[in-house]
Structure 1
Amino acid sequence: MNIAPATAVASDLPGRTNPRVPVRARLKIWWRELDHVLLGLVVLLMAVGCAAIAAASPAGAERLSSDEVTLPPLYFLWAHLRWLAVGITAMLGLSMLTRDTARRFAILLSLSMVAALLLVPFIGYEVNGARRWLNLGFRFQPSEFLKPGFAVTLAWLMSWRLKDPHMPVFGLVTAALALVVILLMAQPNLGAAILFTGVWFVIVLLGGVSFRHIAALFAGGLAALSLAYAFYGNARHRIDSWLSGGTDYDQVDLAQRTLLAGGWDGVGFWVGRAKFRLPEAQTDYIFSVVGEEFGLLACAGIVLLFFAIVLRVLVRVSSEENFFALLAAVGLTAQLGGQAFINILVNLSLFPSKGMTLPLVSYGGSSTIAVCMAFGLLLALTRRNPFLTRETAGLRRSVFEKPLGLFDRERNQ
């Protein structure tokens, strides 16, 4: 590691702070270490989300209006902007944390949200046939806030292999996943359970799990899916509906029809009519609304934007020397990218309906704030002193060479 002239001091390193440094100087250090490209991509995604919600808001407002109450056409846009203001504040605040503090925050967040999930079956309330929300003076969905904390917590557990390669970390992270999946399936929330399982798989794969364990993971996943189909009515109904191609009144079929209604360049802002048939135009099926009003080219742009975010994080951590930071950043990226991937596939009628939002594009309270928190943790974990030159290939070597080979030096220290 080469260090530039005296400007690179210990307090400048990610994960370290010097209490004697004035607040203004800390802010300068934070801004210098921040990944401005990633931040710019996130801000662009937020702007795209605001435009999409403005297009979908009239459909959602009309569906929720009644003879007694008539919602204004832009009701969901103004509500989203309020939630987004809270989310941006949380994102910037978390991005200023050191890696150690971000890790502690994520662990506490995970523990508190698991406790909240334990309360959902008893004091939670039901919406659209699912009991996923708590009202403790304010309404929130614990599973949404568990997502960013879960990825970082699993990364922390897997990083224990640096201290002792023989520690049963695989059993610990698998037990943590099993607990979360059981709590989610009780709601029911199969989509979130699949997403958490995907994050777990990515982290244990990068953590150095043997091919024998990977084969067992695939077999276990197929067995779990078969059991869900056999004994979980909600999953069986959605899978059967998807395999049969749906009907004219099926949600996924309506979403696909809406998506294709605008052609390549769309019918125009607020001109679309197919969106008014969608049950959740402003949330689950907002990608289809974008397709109708802005066209398939705009949909392709959203896909490329998510791809750029994932690629930017992978490039950023390609030379990461800290095992925990590498696993946590990739885990958070898998969670955000996986959620977007599932939502888009549902809108394309390539995946059963899962009730999952498109990150920062769909309307939402809990989901918007939780996604902003995930990006805040990601920005904190990818902060880097620009005066330090790394000569290692963290992600590349952890994938293509022997497990943990890159981190031998760190383990020995």
Structure 2
Amino acid sequence: MTTSPIFIPRPGERGSGPQGPRIQRDWKRELRVWWREVDRWLLFFILLLMLVGTLAVAAASPASAGRLSTVSETLPDLYFFWAHVRMQVLGLCVLIGTSLMPVTLLRRGSVVLAGLMLTALFLVPVIGTEVNGARRWLNVGMSLQPSEFMKPAFAIAIAWILSWKMRDPKLPVIGISGAFVGLIVALLMLQPNLGGAILFVGTWFVMVMLAGLPLQRIGMLTGAGLAALMAAYVFYDNARNRIDSFLGGPTAYDHVDLAGRTLQGGGWTGSGFWLGQNKMRLPEAHTDYIFSVIGEEFGLLICGVVVLLYLAIVLRVLVRLVEEDRLFIILAASGLTAMFGGQAFINILVNLQLFPSKGMTLPLVSYGGSSTLAICFTVGLLLAVTRRNPYLEREPFDIKGSFEKDEEI
């Protein structure tokens, strides 16, 4: 039997011969494996939310384009819509590409990304761009908000740190991860970005609870969190102003009041696409208050559908983790879900006047530049860590029992 010779391309030649077709077959095989292992329902919910976001930005674009137009430059009505579509196409590439990668590579890359974004957060107060009184962006050829890319990297990095305890129960993983989140919170408060700080702390708290934190320490951390919130109210002007504004109720024609009237302006079924009037006076209609635009033009029933879609994503991830047997995967998926779902529901509660205004976008729905790429990277990571071989049976992972066994050893 004869074997075909190995093709070794000369310098400057493209690889052809036996290796070329095999690489193509490998890509096809990888795609087939991905389609078999990925959670198709989770992918469907994500794509459906992105479609809702495209329609919502199209509805909000005329309002934001009109408000941001100047005497020298008039923005087209669909300016933000077409920009959003371009970023969504790029975001889809990021989403699918991330979900195709192995978890080990994503973990290493996310840890490196966390380090890079932490460095960028140090630079923001010094050379950052200020918008509406907040300095949160770096100008790197495009507007980059480091805290947005830190969110998915943070969830993966914290999951990695907490999973160290499986190898050595004596490692102070809670203290190490707590110092990391504390540094991030301090940098966010300088911007100021109180909403982002709360989101990071809340995500960290969810993850350390899942990592088997004793009830006594949970109570201590809860008390420390309440004390920190009170200290922020006393010493941090941004927090005090937002809390006072929320507790005092909205005044006529402020952002929260306009958002509430816009949300209710269309009733249950909406006023119709491009027929909303209240949105024309609403600031940040295409970003922070896009949920209110959905309510006015498409109706409160569609708002309910949007809320159900976010709940479906959260519940689908939890169902997917029921039979997971790896601690890192459990913590990573839970952290990413807490970060994604927490941001969504804070934004919705702000629009419903049930939470102080935080300046957060609605994930996968609001218009965004680099933030759209960051959100797509987040859900791409979520799809990657929830991939399962349908032919492989797993036993549920007992976190508490595993820690107790390690401590006995």
Both structures adopt the same fold (TM-score exceeding 0.5): yes
In structure 2, the residue matched to 1:12 is none
Match runs of 1:144-163 below 5 Å:
144-163=148-167
Aligned to 2:135, the other structure's residue is in SS state: strand
Q: Which residue, out of 54, 60, 66, partners 2:64? A: 60
CA contact (8 A) 1:162 1:407 kept: no
The residue type equivalent to 1:213 in the other structure is: R
Match runs of 1:171-250 below 5 Å:
171-250=175-254
Q: Which residue, out of 378, 396, 401, partners 1:393? A: 396
Match runs of 1:327-406 below 5 Å:
327-390=331-394, 392-394=395-397, 397-398=398-399, 403-405=400-402
- Which runs of 5 or more residues in structure 2 are unaligned? 1-22
How big is each residue's C-alpha offset from its partner over 1:178-231, in whole Å with a ceiling of 9 and x where there is no partner?
000000000000010000011101100000111111111111111111111111
Q: Which residue, out of 276, 300, 303, partners 1:299? A: 303
Q: Which residue, out of 94, 98, 101, partners 2:102? A: 98
In structure 2, the residue matched to 1:280 is 284
How big is each residue's C-alpha offset from its partner over 1:231-259, in whole Å with a ceiling of 9 and x where there is no partner?
11111111101101110122111111111
Q: Which residue, out of 97, 116, 128, partners 2:120? A: 116
CA contact (8 A) 1:283 1:362 kept: yes
Q: How many residues align?
A: 386
CA contact (8 A) 2:169 2:403 kept: no
In structure 1, the residue matched to 2:34 is 30
- Is 2:49 the partner of 1:45? yes
The residue type equivalent to 2:283 in the other structure is: P
State the distance in 2 between where 1:20 and 1:278 align: 51
The residue type equivalent to 1:305 in the other structure is: L
Report the CA distance between 1:137 and its aligned residue: 2.5
* Identity across matched positions, percent: 58
CA contact (8 A) 1:321 1:407 kept: no
The residue type equivalent to 1:74 in the other structure is: L
Report the CA distance between 1:376 and its aligned residue: 0.7
How big is each residue's C-alpha offset from its partner over 1:31-64, in whole Å with a ceiling of 9 and x where there is no partner?
2111111111111010000011111111000000
Report the CA distance between 1:20 and its aligned residue: 12
Structure 1 85/51 Cα, relative in aligned 2: closer, same or farther at 3 Å?
Answer: same
Tell me the TM-score normalised to structure 2 length. 0.92
How big is each residue's C-alpha offset from its partner over 1:376-403, in whole Å with a ceiling of 9 and x where there is no partner?
111110111111122x233xx54xxxx2
CA contact (8 A) 2:166 2:403 kept: no
Aligned to 1:91, the other structure's residue is in SS state: helix
Q: Which has the larger radius of gyration?
A: 2
CA contact (8 A) 2:95 2:377 kept: yes
Tell me the TM-score normalised to structure 1 length. 0.91
CA contact (8 A) 1:346 1:354 kept: yes
Q: Which residue, out of 138, 142, 146, partners 2:142? A: 138
How big is each residue's C-alpha offset from its partner over 1:245-277, in whole Å with a ceiling of 9 and x where there is no partner?
110122111111111111110111111100111
CA contact (8 A) 2:343 2:360 kept: yes
State the distance in 2 between where 1:120 and 1:297 align: 40
Aligned to 1:83, the other structure's residue is in SS state: helix
Aligned to 2:353, the other structure's residue is in SS state: coil
- Say which is worse superposed, 198-207 or 19-28, in terms of deviation: 19-28
CA RMSD in angstroms comes to 1.8
Structure 1 267/407 Cα, relative in aligned 2: closer, same or farther at 3 Å?
Answer: farther
The residue type equivalent to 1:405 in the other structure is: S
Q: Which residue, out of 313, 320, 330, partners 1:326? A: 330
How big is each residue's C-alpha offset from its partner over 1:5-24, in whole Å with a ceiling of 9 and x where there is no partner?
xxxxxxxxxxxxxx998222
